[in-house]
Amino acid sequence: MQGLMQDWPLLLHKIIDHAARQHGSQEVVTRSVAGPITRTTYGAIRQRTLRIAKMLAKNGIRLGDRVATLAWNTDKHLEVWYGICGLGAISHTINPRLFPEQIAWIVNHAEDRLMFLDTTFVPLMEKLAAHVPTIERYVVLTDAANMPQTSLRNAVAYEEWLKETDEDYVWPEFDERTAAGLCYTSGTTGNPKGVLYSHRSNTLHAMTATSSDGLMIDYRDSVLPVVPLFHANAWGLAHAAPMRGAKLVMPGPKLDGASVYELLEAEKVTMTAGVPTVWMMLLDHLRRNNLKFSTLQRLGVGGSAFPESLIRTFEENYGVDVRHAWGMTEMSPVGSTGTIKSTLGQLTHDETMALKAKQGWALFGIEMKITDDDGRPKPWDGRAFGRLKVRGFATAAAYYRGDGGNILDEEGFFDTGDVATIDPHGYMQITDRAKDVIKSGGEWISSVDLENIAVGHPDVAEAAVIGVAHPKWDERPLLIVVPKEGKSPQRDDVIAFLRARTAKFWVPDDMQLIKEIPHTATGKINKLKLREIFKDYKLPEG
Ligand code: ADP
C-alpha cells in the first residue's frame, strides 16, 4: 500500500521561492568583482532568477542543456545558478583555477551551449574561444558601462541581456531526478570526470550537510562561503542559506586574509567555510595585526585535513567552534563532520580537540565502510585502516557520459580513493589518499598524520610528506617544510619533534625546505608536483 501524501518534487527553484516568501527581505551582500560592496535580498534575487530562466529559454536553452559559469561567489553567480536549474537546464560551474587546456577540455566534454562569466575571465575565454565551438553565446556578468570590448561570440553584458525580458515566468515542473548541476573533479590522474547532481540530491544534501550535525546554519546566521560555488556547490551553503533564511555574504574574487576578515567583521558573519589554506592566510592576518573576531562562531573546514594545532588556535585563541568536514565532489560534497556526540560522555578539552581533528561521523544519507583491497570489511576499531567506500542519496552512481565505467561495488558503494580508520563511535579518520600512502617495509605510513604533526612545530608554516624510493624499505617518508616567516626550522629539531609524537618507523628520514608548497585547483597539496620537484632527490645514507 502506498502512502497518501502529496507528491511535491524536490526541485531547487523551490528553495529560492521559499526564501522569497519567508525571508524576502533577508540580505545577500557581495564584494563585487568591480570592487564595491553591493546589497540585495532573496526577494529581489528570486525576481531576477525568473527573468534569467525566461531569457535562457528565449536563447533556445532547453531542459537538459548545459550552461557554463566561470565566476566568483557573487549574488549574480547565485541568481544565474538558480535561473539555469529552475528552467531544467544544467548549471556547469567551472573552476577557473584549472589549467586553460583543462577548461577547454571540460567545456567540450560537457558541450556547454552558453557561458556566464565574470569580466576577469574574458581574456582567458578569448584565448580559448576557438577551441570551444559549442558555446553559442557569452553573457558577461556586468552592466553596459563596465562591459569590456571583446571578440567573444555573441557577447552581451548581463544587465543588458536581462533587460530583453521580464519576470512573467512560471517555473516548469519536472521530475526531481532531473540533472541540475555538473561539476568536474580536478583530474590529477587522467582527464577530469563529470559529477552530475540532481535536484533531489542537491536538495537533500543541503538539508543534511548544513543541519546541526553538520555545518549548522539557520536564520540567525550570517554565512560567508569562502568555498566557491564551483567547488562542489559551495558545500551546500548556497542552497542551505536561502533554504534556512540565513544572510549570505559573497566574497567575490578577494580571498586573502585581510579581505575575508574585513567582510567577516563588517557583515557580522557568524559562520564561514573554506579550505585550510584560506584559514592559514586568515590566521596569519589576525596574528600580524593582533585582531579578534567579534561575531564569528563557527568555521567549516574541509577539502584537506585540518591539523589539530590549527583547530586549537581557532578554538582556544579566537573562541570559534571548528567543524572539520570531509567529503568529495562525488558526494555533493559533504560526507561527515567531527561534531561531538553527547553519548561520548564528559570529555577533557584535549580529548575533544583530538576528536575534532578526525574527519568525523557520517551524516544521515551516507553509509560508510572500510575494506581491504579485495573488498573484505575491516573493523571499526579506530586502528585498522582500509579503503573508504560510501553510498547514499547524494553520492555519484556514475560519471557523466559513463566515463570510468561502473564505479560501484556489488553492494552499491563508491570507492572514495581515500584510506581511513573508523573508531567504535563511528568517527572516521582519513590517513591518506590511496595513491599518496607511503609503503615502507610492507607497512603503511600516513603522510597526512605526519603533516598534521609537523605543522604543530612552532617554526613550520606548512608541511608535506611524500614517499621516496628506498633500496631496502621500498619507500621512506621525506618531510618538506615551508618555514614560518622569519624562522629557519632545523632538520634535526623538527625530526625530533616528530619522533616524540609518532611511531618510530613513521619518522621521516629527512627534511627539505621549500619556499612554497604547490596546491591543486581545489587547494590541496599537489603531491604529483612535489614528487616531480623532488624526483632527483636522494635520501641520506644510513
Ligand atoms: P577534487 O576535485 O580535488 O577531487 P574534492 O574536494 O572532491 O576535490 O576532493 C575530495 C578529496 O579531498 C577526498 O577524497 C579527500 O582525499 C580529500 N579531503 C576532503 N576533505 C578532507 C578532510 N577533512 N581531511 C582530509 N582529506 C580531505
For ligand 1, the distance from its centroid to the CA atom of residue 273, given in whole angstroms, is 14
For ligand 1, the distance from its centroid to the CA atom of residue 355, given in whole angstroms, is 19
CB of 326 within 6 A of ligand 1: the answer is yes
For ligand 1, the distance from its centroid to the CA atom of residue 295, given in whole angstroms, is 29
d(CA 174, CA 176): 6
Atom of ligand 1 at shortest range from CA of 330: 7
d(CA 36, CA 30): 8
Q: Give me the pLDDT at residue 189, please.
A: 64
Q: Where are the domains of the chain?
A: 438-533
CB of 95 within 6 A of ligand 1: the answer is no
Instruction: List all residues 6 or more positions away from 466 whose beta carbon is below 8 Å from its beta carbon.
Output: 436, 438, 447, 477, 478, 480, 527, 530, 531, 534
Place of cell 644510513: 542
Catalytic residue, from 444, 484, 502, 529: name it: 444
Task: Calculate Rg over the CA atoms of the chain.
Answer: 23
Question: What is the mean pLDDT, run by run of 10 residues, along the chain of 542 residues?
Answer: 97 98 98 97 98 98 98 98 98 94 96 98 98 98 97 98 98 97 82 96 96 94 97 95 98 97 98 96 96 98 95 98 97 96 96 97 98 96 95 98 94 96 97 89 89 95 94 93 94 96 93 94 90 92 71
For ligand 1, the distance from its centroid to the CA atom of residue 82, given in whole angstroms, is 26
d(CA 257, CA 252): 14
Catalytic residue, from 176, 267, 308, 330: name it: 330
- pTM for this structure? 0.93
Q: Give me the pLDDT at residue 99, please.
A: 87
DSSP 8-state symbol, 420: E
> In a 10 Å sphere around its CB, with 0-12 CB exposed, 13-18 middle and 19+ buried, how is residue 20 labelled?
buried
CB of 519 within 6 A of ligand 1: the answer is no
Helix (H) or strand (E) holding 238: helix 237-244
Q: Give me the pLDDT at residue 89, please.
A: 98
Instruction: List all residues 6 or more positions away from 487 whose beta carbon is below 8 Å from its beta carbon.
Output: 458, 459
Helix (H) or strand (E) holding 185: none
CB of 102 within 6 A of ligand 1: the answer is no
Atom of ligand 1 at shortest range from CA of 417: 14
8 classed as catalytic: no
List alpha helices for 368-480, DSSP H: 447-454
> In a 10 Å sphere around its CB, with 0-12 CB exposed, 13-18 middle and 19+ buried, how is residue 190 labelled?
exposed
Contact predicate 395/432, CB 8 Å? no
For the domain 438-533, what is the CATH code? 3.30.300.30
